[in-house]
Structure 1
Amino acid sequence: MENNHKGDFRKSCIKKLEFIGLFSKYYKNKVIVKKLEKFIKVSESKNILLYIPLGIEVDIKPLILNLRKTKKNVYVPFMQGDSFKIVKYRLPLYKKRFGIKEPNNSSFKPRKLDLAIVPVVGVDAVYKRIGYGKGMYDRFFDRLSYKPTIIFTQLVLCKSEKVLSDNYDIQADYIITN
């Protein structure tokens, strides 16, 4: 059972994110996508885990489309059990649990990830991820035998002054926000 502070913090961050105006959101998305593109170019990452955005998350669909035109391998989560596996991003997308869209399941073995771009609801004092409370990303990274570079994205930074995370919560190498 999660501690109340974490749950309350999650709720307040979601409220803050839902309250961003459309124009502001459009602008913030553009700025963040540009920063991500620059990071990917400089880091020379080839195998990249992205996500298919929900309404309060950074809309990285333009980034996905741009990367697919280059020689990058774009992967996204495919929910499976208590976590997910990664699949190659391809259309069409289908709406699944929690309103999350996914491509079809595929059984190939992806290459080692260089970079993972992960949406957050908030971060705590030690920059560990506060997500939606399902623990899917935590379990996924815990089960990897290596650690790719992890970037958290968020439209506006929602950071707690307290440590709310558990030892299994993932931590970012970088946070890109507006």
Structure 2
Amino acid sequence: MLKSQIRKQALKDRSSLSDSAYNKLNAALLKQFKTLDFSSIKTIHIFLPIKERKEPDTFMLIGWLNKTLPDIKIIVPRADFETALMTSHEYLGVGDLKQNVYNILEPQKGSLHEGEVDLVIIPLLAFDKQGYRVGYGKGFYDRFLKGLNAQKIGLSLFPAIEKIDDVHEHDIKLDFCITPTEIIKF
């Protein structure tokens, strides 16, 4: 399938989730996330969910990290839609977040992070069995991940699709993807 078809179907599948099903899937994602090996992780870059699009609730992951592994630094993205580039900023809590014009929560006062990143939690609409993902199509994460030496982990509410037919040379492959039922290594 082509990314445009996959994107359309994934958005439809997400929007059809009941609140109860959405909450159960997120609880199962958190259960899987807790099984990762965090022993060598000092800094995690994690996306913030667009709740109205039923993206995986990363606030659950952040809450667990803050409570269980408080020494891990959490950084979150801020997007520049003119350049299609992202920067990472220290996560200071929900009080520091504000929605941009695209309804994406972004940090306001969190300091710019220019150091190492050990793990990146990546948003996606769908992913295939080869480890490629379909996002919203703007390429923010592919540009951000290029040359970044960090574990790349996708979060998906749904299982892998067989194959994305129009993978591009600039598409960055995931190292792992967490679903409600498993963690898949590529």
Q: TM-score range by the shorter chain?
A: 0.7 to 0.9
- Quote the offset at 1:119 in angstroms: 1.4
Which amino acid in structure 1 is aligned with residue 29 of structure 2?
I
- Quote the offset at 1:40 in angstroms: 4.6
The answer to which structure has the higher helix fraction is: 1
- Aligned position for 1:134: 138
In structure 2, the gaps of 5 or more residues are 181-186
In structure 1, what is the Cα distance between the partners aligned to 2:32 and 2:91?
21
TM-score, normalised by the number of residues in structure 2: 0.84
In structure 2, what is the Cα distance between the partners aligned to 1:61 and 1:107?
19
In structure 1, the gaps of 5 or more residues are none
- Quote the offset at 1:111 in angstroms: 2.4
- Aligned position for 1:75: 75
- Aligned position for 2:174: 172
In structure 2, what is the Cα distance between the partners aligned to 1:162 and 1:174?
16
Summarize deviations over 1:67-109 as a string: whole Å, max 9, x none: 2341110011111221201111123210013210111155544
Quick one: structure 1 residues 167 and 125, their matched pair in 2 at CA, closer, same or farther if it must change by over 3 Å?
farther
- Aligned position for 2:100: 96
In structure 2, what is the Cα distance between the partners aligned to 1:19 and 1:98?
21
- Aligned position for 1:118: 122
Which amino acid in structure 2 is aligned with residue 14 of structure 1?
L
After superposition, the CA RMSD in angstroms is 1.9
SS state of the match for residue 30, structure 2?
helix
In structure 2, what is the Cα distance between the partners aligned to 1:125 and 1:37?
23
